[in-house]
Structure 1
Amino acid sequence: MNKNKKLIASAIAALVIVAAITVGVVKTAEGNLDVIGKGSQKTFEAVLNVLPDAGKADEANAGWSLESPDGEVRLIWSGDYNKSPVYDVMLEFDAKPFLDAGLDESRLSDQYKRNDGSIIIGSKLRKEAPSVKEGPNALSAYQQIETYNPDTINYHSAMDHYGLKLGDGNMFEWAKNMETNTVTKKDQDKDIVFVLNPEPLIAAGVDPEKVEGWVYTTVPVMDHGKNVEVYKFLKPFNIK
């Protein structure tokens, strides 16, 4: 009888330990997500403060935009998902460099939208957020993304960048620290980087080596816990 009591007591103790470990792991995971979110807000605000036209209101998309220094691509994020006509987060980029490199727009999927010489690619966010009611601005709209769709934001450790995922491998990335950010030999590790998935564009006729103004190269990404190299179109800038 005493032996059975000891076995039961040991089993209960083991369950308590497992439960404690599980709670600790969950809290750690939540803490890490919070660190990514809060850290990304601060650094995204730094980018908005450096670029003169960043955070410009975009009424057509019910949100705000951040334009590249060369004026060829814009990041757009909505402040009211009920009013955004196409996507809640997106890139709008000049079609000409891709047309000159062989793009046949008729071969692009319906996911790619056309707008007066530009191409738009992006996604609707998974969880709807309330529109910004008080003191709406570019940063508060970004904070909505972190609050309601945190899985849209990631941290790219290989390049020490935060990133806003726009769907199907398209992204906007920015340096965690612009003061200590360095440039690699592949010209990838800059303050801000607009990132396009090249595969659909290549399938629509683009010769990736002939696209002017974009860098076609491999970048390291995590795939099932392993670092792998994938091809991307990059438009990187130092802005500080």
Structure 2
Amino acid sequence: MNKNGKLIASVAAAVILTAAITAGVVKTAEGNLDVIGKGSEKSFEAVIGALPDAVKSDETSGGWSLASPDDSVRVIWSEDYQKSPVYDVMLKFDAKPFLDAGLDESKLPDNYKKDGEAFLVGSKLSKGGSPLSDKADAISAYRLIETHNPDIINYHSAMDHYGLKLGDGNMFEWAKNMEINTASGKDQDKDIVFVLNPEPLLAAGVDPQKVEGWVYATVPVMDHGKNIEVYKFLKPFNIK
């Protein structure tokens, strides 16, 4: 083969490789090859199985909710993003502990919404599939996230937790494996953890040491490839 022939062959191979990589990226973006998302579904289903009475249809959001064992906070995820009145994924938590700790709710940013005696904080998702059928359940609604918005599902290696990123540093995390988690005996390795970004709450007057029912503590996170410690409000539970 002459030089021109080799050059054409090389260019053709590069085009094919680029097309294959691009196709792979598109599939990953749609969730078809998302390892974290696929891995998280089984463990999320295990959490729901361990808390059957805590998982309910949430008509207000057009989706599902999982309440904490003390019923003070819940994570909510929609099954029809066209009907979600506020957010597609969110935390709903009792306002009283924060008001009692000095919160001036008039100083909260706009992403905090008052709902009766609770606050909502969360996100609208960028993509959504077709609304689920009447036979939808909590897992099929979770699968919408996994399929269309896998970027909000993460894996927290320091804690061996999966998590839903709910926007502005707020999260819901759960153990990758509750059986191993329980056997480890490590107090910090809770089965589920509700996580609030403390910064807006502190800026609105909250004294973090006076918030009953929430732990104000540092947690390890990755920042540009480095482990750093950041403060969060945490509500952790063992459920097995």
Q: Tell me the equivalent position of 1:140.
A: 140
Percent of counterpart pairs with the same letter? Answer: 67
Amino acid at match of 2:179: E
Mapped partners of 1:148, 1:50: distance in 2:
26
Please list the CA deviations of residues 1-25 of structure 1 after superposition, one character each: whole Å capped at 9, or x if unmatched. x9xx569848966995897599579
TM-score by length of 2: 0.87
User: What SS does the corresponding residue of 1:179 show, helix, strand or coil?
Assistant: helix
8 Å Cα contact 1:188/1:234 also seen in 2: no
Q: Which runs of 4+ in 1 moved over 3 A?
A: 5-33
User: What SS does the corresponding residue of 1:190 show, helix, strand or coil?
Assistant: coil
User: What SS does the corresponding residue of 1:60 show, helix, strand or coil?
Assistant: coil
Please list the CA deviations of residues 39-61 of structure 1 after superposition, one character each: whole Å capped at 9, or x if unmatched. 11111111111003233011111
Structure 1 residues 22 and 54: alpha-carbon distance in aligned structure 2, compared to 1, 3 A threshold? farther
Amino acid at match of 1:193: V
Mapped partners of 2:171, 2:152: distance in 1:
10
Structure 1 residues 194 and 183: alpha-carbon distance in aligned structure 2, compared to 1, 3 A threshold? farther
How far residue 131 of structure 1 moved from its aligned partner, in angstroms, is: 0.9
Alignment of 1:64-103 (within 5 A): 64-103=64-103
Query: Is 133-142 or 28-37 further displaced after alignment?
Result: 28-37
How far residue 115 of structure 1 moved from its aligned partner, in angstroms, is: 1.2
Q: Tell me the equivalent position of 1:238.
A: 238
Query: Is 173-182 or 50-59 further displaced after alignment?
Result: 50-59
Q: Tell me the equivalent position of 2:114.
A: 114
Q: CA RMSD in A?
A: 2.6
8 Å Cα contact 1:125/1:149 also seen in 2: yes
How far residue 235 of structure 1 moved from its aligned partner, in angstroms, is: 0.4
User: What SS does the corresponding residue of 1:139 show, helix, strand or coil?
Assistant: helix
Please list the CA deviations of residues 60-79 of structure 1 after superposition, one character each: whole Å capped at 9, or x if unmatched. 11111000001100111111
Q: Tell me the equivalent position of 1:173.
A: 173
Alignment of 1:1-240 (within 5 A): 9=6, 16=13, 30=28, 34-133=34-133, 135-181=135-181, 182=184, 184=186, 187-240=187-240
TM-score by length of 1: 0.87
How far residue 224 of structure 1 moved from its aligned partner, in angstroms, is: 1.1
Please list the CA deviations of residues 165-216 of structure 1 after superposition, one character each: whole Å capped at 9, or x if unmatched. 10000000000000001454xx432100000000000000001111111111
8 Å Cα contact 2:62/2:79 also seen in 1: yes
Gaps of 5+ in 1: none
User: Aligned residues, how many?
Assistant: 235
Please list the CA deviations of residues 103-159 of structure 1 after superposition, one character each: whole Å capped at 9, or x if unmatched. 111110111011111111001011122210252111100000110111011111111
Amino acid at match of 1:101: A
Amino acid at match of 1:167: G
